[in-house]
Structure 1
Amino acid sequence: MREPLLLPVCGLATGIAAGRMAPFGFWDGIVAALALAGCAAMLARRRRPQAAAWVGALAMIPFGGWLADRTRPAPLPSFLVAGAEQRLAGCVVRPLAGPPDRPWFVLETAPGSRIRVSLNTPGHPARGTVHYGRRIAFTAKVREPRNFR
């Protein structure tokens, strides 16, 4: 084959597209991909390289679906309402980062529940008080993530 990665990349892209339409669980994605990869390995041992390449590309389809399902954003926590101002409190688990005119930090409101907070106001008084491990509370407008990738 002249382009050995073309078939696997096409299979992965097909799987990601399929994963956006229907959910792929662990068994649907990883186990099916491993089974097909095992078939491809057997075909390669029997000196059938083209068949092994096609089956290997087919193995990337369920794997791509599983990847698309793993990277899907989680829904908003039940205590948050999109578009409304709410009182948030928690521990800073990632200090200020990003450009100086629009820095952001990550706040953990409960174990395993993290929220990314952007400071839109220039010269905001909280800029100097956001340090790792610090517990803070504030009122903020909550929105669902857009253009998540």
Structure 2
Amino acid sequence: MKFKLDVSDMADGFFEDAHLLGIVAPIRDYQFCWQLNQRFRFRFRINNDIEIQLTKKNRNYYFPVYEYHEPGQFLSHYLYKNQHDGEYLLPEFRHLDFLWMIKGDEVSSSAIGDIQQSIRAIGGVQLVVELTNEKIKNKEHLIF
């Protein structure tokens, strides 16, 4: 007998206070983080403890996650690399290089718009779009 874990409720809870931006920027993840840190005065750092591991075709794929917690606020930023060795964290968004999740305190839509504009101003960034929960088929891949 096999049991299958239903993570749909967990995914809904995980995303209820989150905004997700999809970014097309064909540059190295560490270079992109450096540019984000300069522009936003953030300190994105890789967190190997929350790295996402997916197993497909009897192979493991690792997707790094960078994080930054805003001091004095209950607001965290997570930057996921969407592609590793030909596999995608969110296969429904193959064209995206990065996923930026903003999670925690309420963030206004104008603040999200300001963040998108600032990301667009970074060299190498071709597209920034907010992703709605309904469009994300593989939400559970983003849960750490």
| TM-score, normalised by the number of residues in structure 2 | 0.24
Higher strand fraction (1 or 2): 2
The TM-score, its normalising length taken from structure 1, stands at 0.23
Return the structure number with greater helix share.
1
Determine which structure has more spread, i.e. the larger CA radius of gyration: 1
Report which structure shows greater RCO (CA 8 Å, sep ≥6): 2
